[in-house]
Amino acid sequence: MKIVIVGAGALGSVMAKILKQNRANSVALWDIVPGKVEKQQPLGKILPSADAVFLCMPTTALRSAAMAINPHLRRKALVIGMSKGIEDNTNLTLDRMLRKILPWRQRIGLLFGPMLASEIITGSCANAVLASRTRITLLRIAKAFAETQLRVNLSHDVRGVALCGALKNVYAIGMGVIKALGAGDNARGAYVAAATEEMRRIVRQLGGRERTVYGYAGLADLVATGLSESSRNHQVGCALGNRSDCQGSEGSRAALSFSELLGRKLGSFAILHALVRVLDCGADPEEIAAAICRP
């Protein structure tokens, strides 16, 4: 396949490394920052012949990236999003944002899962879930990853995968908080169980399939992100638990979006409610630990 990766940060660079392991692929990197990619060619030159385009950037930059590629896409090109968040103001998940921006016949998919760049770059294997409503997208992208270090599992639950990708970042912040508060492994285990149960209920309420939560986009990625020292969401959680100043993350922004999406039902999700109170209202982070014990 002829593949273009838009976004040459840690994730985009790792995806390029993985996809090049399949010698049948031709991979080109592109980034909006001049000079970031050596000998970079214009989008107008590399996109019209691309079979697949991977969007590897934070959710805050996704809309502008999708609009930039739109005029140059082939109708049969596959667009794969990897941003695990919710757009501010619109509260759109990745799949719905792409569907609004790209032509309605454009084939889109999501590639989510525990894919920490710091581990993959050393050669470690990883697992991910590829979600699309069209079988041809699933099969063609899966083939592009054949004989690489990334094992791709297939799903038609695009909505559920999109929700899981955003939710696991939110709940990963809580894992950082629990660690910073000095809770032991028993508390962390209880937190993972309670957080997964809340994710299951939220995904069901917002239109996804419950079983998706227990796969690579949900539980697996929650554990990896929540425990990883290199995860921005983990770092935000630790800063909150230590009562330190911290910048935002995909999870902190998504928490507020889920608060709006759930409305009055937010109170039914004890951990999420506590996270929103801590992130948005400056509440005591101990509320997150206390939420684990609530019925």
Question: Which positions are annotated as active-site residues?
Answer: 168
Backbone conformation region of residue 31, classed left if phi is above 0, alpha if psi is from -120 to 50, else beta: beta
Please name the residue that has the structure tokens 């790792």. Answer: 14
- What type of residue sits at position 239? A
* Cα distance between residue 206 and residue 175, in whole Å: 23
| Contacts with 19 (C-beta within 8 Å, 6 or more apart), sequence order | 3, 5, 25, 27, 144, 145, 148
Rg (CA), the chain: 19
3-state per-residue secondary structure call for 90-128: CCCEHHHHHHHHCCCCCEEEEEECCCCHHHHCCCCCEEE
| Dihedral pair phi/psi, residue 2, rounded to 5° | -90, 115
Q: Compute the C-alpha angle 258/259/260, nearest 5°.
A: 90
* Cα distance between residue 160 and residue 76, in whole Å: 25
Residue 220: DSSP 8-state = I
Residue of 155, 153, 154, 141 whose CA lies nearest to 22:
141
Task: Read off the tokens for 209.
Answer: 């399939």
